[in-house]
Chain A
């Protein structure tokens, strides 16, 4: 098996550096937001986390389609790894969102559209991974994971819209949509940082999954010679 390309390590280290620099700029250099003050700085990790979580799930969907189409194990490793990393980002998203809600609205949870959708998304994809642990046969595990991932992904936009409609009957908290140019730099840096780190983690996790699967496999036994008489069998 080929060793993981050194460019992945480069990507990972670049991501780490970018995250450090981007967060430093976001915390200390970028100007305070006019209405929310320093609390708003959480946006510099929150928004990139959200982007990358959704991007990750989108790739998981694409890998799942490939897995069903080709039945090749490498796509199953890719689906599993991508879902796991995206779940991590999703969980972080919920924590960050909760902190932001506490700081701006005084409550740990508000039935905000994005927060509620994120929670349902987490449960959807966590369910896909949970199902894997109950299936032994690797081919069936791969097929069912792909099916469940596709079904879960298609659900996300519907969840988003219906939560939004559901919430529209209640008072909607607004969040700043426009971002000034001085804030865009740390936002983009962190977005790429998380993307690079995400890719780095996915590659390693997929490799781990492939190695585990190979370890569970047993090579086809040697062909036994046919015998002349029945008494020899």
Chain B
């Protein structure tokens, strides 16, 4: 694991953050600072607020309490600027059934202003072993294939902050290995990585720090190895 590089502005700064859905507070009293270049693990049971936190960072949700800043930019008032610096790969695949893999990447590449050419996109598909399905409609893809395709957004968008919500789910061991490699690559590039995962044995060794969420609040913060041993490897 690399040393965390020095930087002034934290990648994420949440202060008193709270989010309510109807009568249920999905997140409350969340104070968290993620320094630039750190790899953070967010662990916690289902419904503990992990996905909510990531979506708040990306400005997809509006906080009911407090605020959250990405590289100093407010998630609501500076939403577009913040999103240029981050990539979120969540539970949804963000795909169109009637586009091919290559067409999908081209739309994403064009809209994010990446300047990637067709050959670059084909190389990316090669990297996730989807090259031979470049011209196949996404509707025919398995869940694992869709996941690999969606993960390519992290390569297309060139973000400073990568947020991964259950990155290992739906992937076979080879796919999970690939994700691990990519995360190490992001670290070497000095990117900040936030991983929300149940798969602690896979995720923990990659991270500098871990926090544990339960019932929408941060209950514990410490070293990733403690999360694994403290729960006996179970979420």
Q: Which residues of A contact B (CB under 8 A)?
A: 136-137, 139, 216-218, 220-221, 223-224, 226-227, 229-231, 233
- Selected A-B contacts with CB under 8 Å, 11 pairs: A137-B22, A218-B20, A218-B24, A218-B25, A221-B216, A227-B220, A229-B226, A230-B220, A230-B227, A231-B230, A233-B212
* A223 interface neighbour in B20, B28, B222, B229, Cβ under 8 Å: B28
A226 to B219, Cβ gap below 8 A? yes
Q: Which of A217, A223, A233 contacts B29 (CB 8 A)?
A: A223
Contacts of B226 in A (CB 8 A): 229-230
Q: In the complex, which residues of chain A have a beta carbon less than 8 angstroms from the beta carbon of B218?
A: 226
Distance (whole angstroms) from the CB of A216 to the closest CB of chain B? 7
Category for how many chain B residues contact A: 20 to 34
Secondary structure call for the A interface: loop
Closest residue on chain B to residue A230 by CB atoms: B230
Chain B residues whose CB sits within 8 angstroms of the CB of A217 once the complex forms: 20, 23
Given the contacts A221-B28, A230-B222, A216 and B22 also touching, CB distance less than 8 Å: yes
- Name the distance in Å between B215's Cβ and chain A's nearest Cβ: 7
Complex-state Cα separation, A220 to B28, whole angstroms? 7
Shortest CB–CB separation between residue B220 and chain A, in angstroms? 6
User: Nearest-CB distance from B129 to chain A (Å)?
Assistant: 37
The complex places the Cα of A229 from the Cα of B220 at a distance, in Å, of 8
Instruction: Give the nearest-CB partner of B31 in chain A.
Output: A223
Contact across chains for B214 and A139 when beta carbons are under 8 A apart: no
The CA of A136 and the CA of B23, in the complex, are separated in Å by 11
- Contact string against A for B residues 87-125, beta-carbon threshold 8 Å, 1 for contact and 0 otherwise: 000000000000000000000000000000000000000
Residue of B nearest to A225 (CB): B219
Query: In whole angstroms, what is the CA distance A224 to B214 when docked?
Result: 10
**What are the 3 tightest A-B residue pairs by CB atom distance, in nearest-first order?**
A230-B230, A223-B29, A218-B23
Q: Is the CB of B230 within 8 A of A229?
A: yes
Residues in chain B near residue A136, CB distance under 8 A: 22
Known: A216-B22, A218-B20. Contact between A230 and B217, CB under 8 A?
no
Q: Which positions 15-29 of chain B face chain A at CB distance < 8 Å?
A: 18, 20-25, 28-29
Nearest to A231 among chain B residues (CB) is B230
